[in-house]
């Protein structure tokens, strides 16, 4: 069934709840960031390295920034000193490490400033890439699924609101139809263009596009009582994450970049598992809702190092 077949009242409710839930989830991340700000003084200094080794630049959205994982910096970017970029830098010991990741970033953030209420939160991320850059990692595309800056979480909020309209069906899948697929196609095309622009700026750089982890389990019954979405829509959301990764990997291949799979390595540690590396809607350890916690960021860093042959 297409979006047009969804009752008008349900669509209107979906939009309202999407905005409110998205704001609440981001607010949760901001609360976590505030609560952990005092830990910043104890954070280790960036890794030092012998002269002449690689200049490494990390780009991307909240999954790359490590939103909510202490210690946080860069204001609304919610950038963690334990995100996968920092962990990769610690392993590689580059001569310079630059982190331009930022929560809420869409693919457009590569070339345009990221703003909040008219205020610039983060400059164009590609501005950090220079001709002497030899390694770039980035995670982007997930936020392009939603109409707000919380991307996939925005979609989950819509699915939550629609669950009451058809508890035994797949009302969210019916609501979106092929909308998310078309949004992902558009985001993948823009990501390919952005990666080509990146390579033109740093022609000798190794570029690694880092995929999204296993936010949801293969078996939707594992989320019963943990995520207020119908069983049918849990399967739908799981397929959307898979499609996001497939199209992100395709964009990487089209631009000659490497791809680091994080879906497989985090399987079994999803947001509904007994040992989550991705937090649930109500996080139990410091991280934004439905985002990697500290172990999740470590798993993503290990995936990057594998892609680099380390």
- Contact yes or no for 111/126 (Cβ under 8 A): yes
269 is catalytic: no
- Cis peptide leading into residue 240 (ω within 30°): no
Q: CA 177, CA 11: separation in Å to the nearest integer?
A: 13
User: Annotated catalytic residue: which of 18, 28, 62, 170?
Assistant: 62
- Contact yes or no for 86/124 (Cβ under 8 A): no
291 is catalytic: yes
Q: In what helix (H) or strand (E) does residue 58 lie, and over which residues does it extend?
A: strand 55-60
- Contact yes or no for 286/295 (Cβ under 8 A): no
Q: CA 266, CA 278: separation in Å to the nearest integer?
A: 9
Q: CA 191, CA 144: separation in Å to the nearest integer?
A: 11
Of the candidates 84, 22, 91, 95, the one whose C-alpha atom is nearest the C-alpha of residue 56 is 95
Residues facing residue 97 across a β-bridge: 56
Tokens standing for residue 120: 């610039």
Alpha helix stretches (DSSP H) within the chain? 8-36, 62-65, 84-92, 152-163, 171-176, 179-201, 231-254, 263-266, 294-307
Of the candidates 301, 205, 203, 185, the one whose C-alpha atom is nearest the C-alpha of residue 251 is 185
- Contact yes or no for 128/202 (Cβ under 8 A): no
Report which DSSP code applies to 150: T
User: Annotated catalytic residue: which of 28, 80, 273, 291?
Assistant: 291
Which residues are catalytically annotated?
62, 291
């Amino acid at each position: 069934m297409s979006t047009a077949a969804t009752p008008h009242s349900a669509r209107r409710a979906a939009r309202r709840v999407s905005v409110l839930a998205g704001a609440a989830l981001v607010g949760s991340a901001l609360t976590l960031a505030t609560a952990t700000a005092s830990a910043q003084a104890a954070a280790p200094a960036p890794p030092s390295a012998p002269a002449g080794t690689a200049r490494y630049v990390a780009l991307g959205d909240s999954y790359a920034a490590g939103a909510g994982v202490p210690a946080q910096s860069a204001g609304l970017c919610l950038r963690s000193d334990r995100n996968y970029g920092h962990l990769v830098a610690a392993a590689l010991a580059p001569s310079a490490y630059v982190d331009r990741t930022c929560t809420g970033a869409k693919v457009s953030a590569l070339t345009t400033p990221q703003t909040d209420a008219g205020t610039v939160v983060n400059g164009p991320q590609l501005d950090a890439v220079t001709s002497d850059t030899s390694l770039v990692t980035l995670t982007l595309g997930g936020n392009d699924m939603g109409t707000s800056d919380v991307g996939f979480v925005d979609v989950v909020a819509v699915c939550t609101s629609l669950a009451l309209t058809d508890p035994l069906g797949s009302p969210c899948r019916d609501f979106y139809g092929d909308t998310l697929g078309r949004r992902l196609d558009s985001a993948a095309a823009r990501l390919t263009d952005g990666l080509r622009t990146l390579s033109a700026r740093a022609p000798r750089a190794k570029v690694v596009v880092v995929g999204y982890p296993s936010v949801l389990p293969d078996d939707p019954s594992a989320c019963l009582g943990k995520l207020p979405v119908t069983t049918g829509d849990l399967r739908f959301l799981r397929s959307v994450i898979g499609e996001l990764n497939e199209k992100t990997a395709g964009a990487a291949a089209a631009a000659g970049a490497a791809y680091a799979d994080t879906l497989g390595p985090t399987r079994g540690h999803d947001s509904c598992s007994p040992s989550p590396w991705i937090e649930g809607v109500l996080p139990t350890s410091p991280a934004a809702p439905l985002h990697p916690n500290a172990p999740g960021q470590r798993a993503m860093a290990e995936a990057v190092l594998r892609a680099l042959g380390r």
